[in-house]
Copies of this chain bind each other. A is one copy, B any other.
Amino acid sequence: MVDYAQPKTSSALALSRHALSEQYKQVRAFSELICKPLVTEDYVVQSMPDVSPTKWHLAHVSWFWETFVLSAAQPGYTSLHPQYTYLFNSYYNSVGARHCRPRRGLISRPTVTETYQYRRYVDEHMQALFEHLDESRLSALTPVITLGLHHEQQHQELMLTDIKHVLSCNPLNPAYHEAPASPSLSVAPLSWITYQEDVYWIGHKGDGFAFDNEGPRHKTYVQSFQLGSRLVTNGEYLEFIEDGGYSTPTLWLSDGWRTVQEQQWQAPLYWEKRDGQWCMMTLSGLRAVNKYEPVCHVSYYEADAYAHWKHARLATEAEWEVAASGLDVRGNFVESGVYHPVPMQATLQKEGPTQMYGDVWEWTQSAYAPYPGFRPAPGAVGEYNGKFMCNQFVLRGGSCVTSLSHIRPTYRNFFPPDARWQFTGIRLAREVEAHA
């Protein structure tokens, strides 16, 4: 679920008028760059309730600028169309009635062309704002503008995630783009890295942007633990499948086992067996499963069952953040243009854990909950995060369709435990004592 956060204090933001405007242009341009490979028809389809049509994403992010920036800056501001507020509100009860989410795919108009016109209209008003708004009011709006940039980046990730799902529903297996397949190079064996028990500080420190759910920074007690040195691969996950993982109830959470049976899961989402060989739908079309790539498109239930089968567990989000705290934020992000997880390159192997950032979001065993002292922002943006703190699990580290400039060590993504259409994967953890 994409959620809109309250930025930290505006004093933390020192972007110049020009820099803000340039950032805005870059982020907005990237949304449209993502759509380049699409035909008009692709923009329209909603393949399941969780998926939104690309056309809707493009309009909704513009609605966000209108609602939280332009309307705030210009009291007389009017949208390009009086009904767009209704059509493109996602879930803000404070802002008014809205079009029902599962029916977003029934709306053929505004057309794609009109949607781009809507974007132009918003861009022109935003540019005017960057150029002409007086300093104090621009400064006051900078936090919500920064939020808008991160919001649009979140939808960029969703656009790629959703279009993959849409194309996967088509028996013609159309490709979104042509990317070379990953090389089939063996990866290093999984090893375990040990962390000592202590009271640690967790959560965002206060410099730079963060969503409201990343704070307050606070102390937490972490028992000593071990973390897997890399992500779990398709090849390792195949062993779980071939060992009967999907037909052994004792490996699964109770809700997970019910889901396996109801949905008849036999493998990760997008996998299918053709002539005895496992293939997977990718944004480059149908491909054979590469054993060395990180496993992707697994639910929390599958991640947990796999860990159980390996006599291990998933990390807590505090453990993950402790392990990530000293590492550089780099990896296979959307900027690589691959849009697919890649095998860990041996040359990147170091002392610490690898693949902590990018490739796939890592399920943690932490239910998504407020940090001690958390308070949602007042007003509509307070609906961005807090109201989803129930029945979801935290994921960390970003994926191959996340922007590098969007991720942080303290970033908390969250999805329900049965969600599989996101780029989600597995890193193992375990107790120290059991393996001393």
Residues of A within 8 A of B (CB): 39-45, 47, 55, 81, 83, 86-87, 91, 93-94, 99, 103, 105-112, 166-167, 169-172, 174, 197, 199, 218-221, 223, 225, 249-250, 252-257, 300-301, 304, 313, 365-367, 369-370, 372-373, 382-383, 387-391, 417, 431, 433
Contacts and interface: CB of A to CB of B under 8 A. Distances in A.
Contact of A253 (B105, B172, B388): B388
A390 B369 contact: no
Considering residues A220, A301, A365, A387, which has the most beta carbons from chain B within 10 angstroms of its beta carbon?
Answer: A387
A253 B387 contact: yes
Nearest to A112: B41
16 contacts: A41-B112, A42-B109, A45-B105, A45-B108, A86-B171, A91-B254, A93-B249, A93-B257, A105-B105, A219-B221, A250-B382, A253-B388, A255-B390, A365-B370, A366-B369, A373-B433
Given A41-B112, A109-B172, A365-B370, 12 more contacts: A39-B109, A44-B45, A45-B105, A81-B172, A107-B170, A199-B199, A252-B387, A253-B387, A253-B389, A254-B388, A255-B390, A304-B390
A390 B108 contact: no
Contacts of A171: 83, 86-87, 99, 107
A369 B221 CA distance: 16
Secondary structure dominating the interface of A: mixed
A63 B48 CA distance: 27
B40 A111 contact: yes
Q: Which of A83, A221, A252, A300 has the most CB of B within 10 A?
A: A221
